[in-house]
Amino acid sequence: MGIPSWPVSGARERELLEEVLQSDRWGGYHPFVARFEQEFAAFQQCRFGLSACNGTVTLEMALEALGIGEGDEVIVPAISFISTATAVSRVRATPVFVDIEPDTFNIDPQRIREAISPKTRAIIPVHFGGPMADMDAITAIASAHGLPILEDAAHAHGSEWNGTRAGSIGAISSFSFQNGKVMTAGEGGILLSNDEALIDRAREILDQGRRKGEGWFFHYTLGTNYRITAWQSAVLIAQLERLPEQNQRRARNVAIIRENLADQSGLHFQRVPEAARVHTNYLLLGWVDGDRAAFHKKFTAAGFPCTPFYPHTLYENPLYRDRTNCRVTPCPNSEARIRDAFWIPHRALLGTDEDATALAVAMRNAL
Ligand SMILES: Cc1ncc(COP(=O)(O)O)c(C=O)c1O
């Protein structure tokens, strides 16, 4: 049984890093930075990219570039990593937590519809675990209300909705390259958009309020320094070259695992709509009918990595628990999955066919 280690790197990363080392620009102005932005944007079928030091500040810049601030509400799912919500809070707007669908783990379009108020200014769907949220339904709601969509695509490098890649459907989108993501530079993030003006506004924030073509010491807006480095960009160029094959390998292994366990009672896997069939498999998500703690203990004792889901919904974090700085709509599905769900990280899905079969057997034995 082999559980590959993560991150994966090779001669290509070393070659590109050496090129940076030999250059006189180790920071955010090496040509690798713009090259990776163009290559990743093209890969996601998008026109413009802006890379940054992580996938949290990219969300914050996107909201700021959209003009969202104090008094505004932004709709987010109750199940995600904390940045999806704190990005809203950090631009002084109010996160509005809505429920997920019980089986896809993605934000429920009907709940978005019900949560919209006169203060709503944007919607942030998260493509949770890899499969994209229902972008047809969410786009229809957003268009009807004149709201921009910010896709939190931190799990969705190469994911598709009906053949269209993540990040190219919403007004703007954000990806993360943090250590555990399917492509990584240890830290890193990128914003993508087909709207050049939005990316230019975000670039001003990221680069000290500077403007394209203007002088180095001319600062037009209140910006900061969120630049990525040449080191990260070098590694990301190499990681992107490896991603399509890794996405395919994970998809094959997940198909083997799901086929092996298709008749298994007491175990449910994330439902993946046909439109979202192509995705990263960043997390293999599921839930159990019985005792999750006992399942988790047995499965991990057999040598497999597994996390018994988040300990709480986003709004039950100490930061939001007293509800003074957010709005919470009823989220029974999110609360149910907190009690019974689990995930297996993507590195466990990068082995051979035999490894995938062994994982399925261990899951069955752990139930
Ligand atoms: C859904 C989601 N959004 C945003 C982030 C934040 O990205 P970063 O860690 O690069 O700041 C993460 C994970 O790290 C995430 O899982």
Question: pLDDT by residue (tens digit) across 326-363?
Answer: 999 999 999 999 999 999 999 999 999 999 999 999 99
Would you say the CB of residue 154 lies under 6 angstroms from ligand 1?
yes
CB 355 within 8 A of CB 137: no
Question: pLDDT by residue (tens digit) across 181-223?
Answer: 999 999 999 999 999 999 999 999 999 999 999 999 999 999 9
pLDDT the model gives residue 324: 97
CATH of the domain at 137: 3.40.640.10
pLDDT the model gives residue 1: 58
Which atom of ligand 1 lies at the shortest distance from residue 177's CA?
A: 10
Asked whether residue 125 falls in the same domain as residue 51, the answer is yes
Whether residue 15 is contained in a domain is answered as yes
**Among 189, 210, 239, where does a domain finish?**
239
Would you say the CB of residue 176 lies under 6 angstroms from ligand 1?
yes
CB 99 within 8 A of CB 76: no
**Among 197, 219, 239, where does a domain finish?**
239
Centre a 10 Å sphere on the Cβ of residue 259 and count the other Cβ atoms it contains: 12
CB 95 within 8 A of CB 326: yes
Asked whether residue 227 falls in the same domain as residue 283, the answer is no
Whether residue 2 is contained in a domain is answered as no
The overall average pLDDT reported for the chain is: 98
Question: pLDDT by residue (tens digit) across 213-252?
Answer: 999 999 999 999 999 999 999 999 999 999 999 999 999 9
Would you say the CB of residue 81 lies under 6 angstroms from ligand 1?
yes
CA distance 187 to 202: 19
**Among 213, 239, 265, where does a domain finish?**
239
Whether residue 265 is contained in a domain is answered as yes
Question: pLDDT by residue (tens digit) across 36-81?
Answer: 999 999 999 999 999 999 999 999 999 999 999 999 999 999 999 9
Q: Which residue, judged by its Cα, is nearest atom 9 of ligand 1?
A: 178
Asked whether residue 358 falls in the same domain as residue 274, the answer is yes
Helix pair angle (57-65, 196-206), 10° resolution: 120
Asked whether residue 315 falls in the same domain as residue 177, the answer is no
Q: Which residue, judged by its Cα, is nearest atom 7 of ligand 1?
A: 55
CB 135 within 8 A of CB 167: no
Cβ contacts of 70 within 8 Å, gap of 6 or more: 92, 93
Burial of 105 (0-12, 13-18, 19+ CB in 10 A): buried
Which atom of ligand 1 lies at the shortest distance from residue 188's CA?
A: 10
Would you say the CB of residue 51 lies under 6 angstroms from ligand 1?
no
Asked whether residue 75 falls in the same domain as residue 100, the answer is yes
Test site for ligand 1: of 178, 184, 191, 228, most ligand atoms within 8 A of the Cβ = 178
- Please give the distance, rounded to the nearest whole angstrom, from the Cα atom of residue 81 to the centre of ligand 1: 6
Among candidate residues 279, 288, 278, 285, the one with its CA nearest the CA of residue 258? 285
Burial of 206 (0-12, 13-18, 19+ CB in 10 A): buried
Which atom of ligand 1 lies at the shortest distance from residue 59's CA?
A: 4
Asked whether residue 195 falls in the same domain as residue 221, the answer is yes
Question: pLDDT by residue (tens digit) across 11-43?
Answer: 999 999 999 999 999 999 999 999 999 999 999
Would you say the CB of residue 54 lies under 6 angstroms from ligand 1?
yes
Asked whether residue 111 falls in the same domain as residue 213, the answer is yes
- Please give the distance, rounded to the nearest whole angstrom, from the Cα atom of residue 310 to the centre of ligand 1: 14
Asked whether residue 298 falls in the same domain as residue 195, the answer is no
CATH of the domain at 265: 3.90.1150.10
For residue 2, name the pLDDT band (cuts at 50, 70, 90): confident
CB 109 within 8 A of CB 138: yes
Which atom of ligand 1 lies at the shortest distance from residue 80's CA?
A: 1
- Which residue segment(s) compose the domain that 284 sits in? 243-366
Which atom of ligand 1 lies at the shortest distance from residue 189's CA?
A: 10
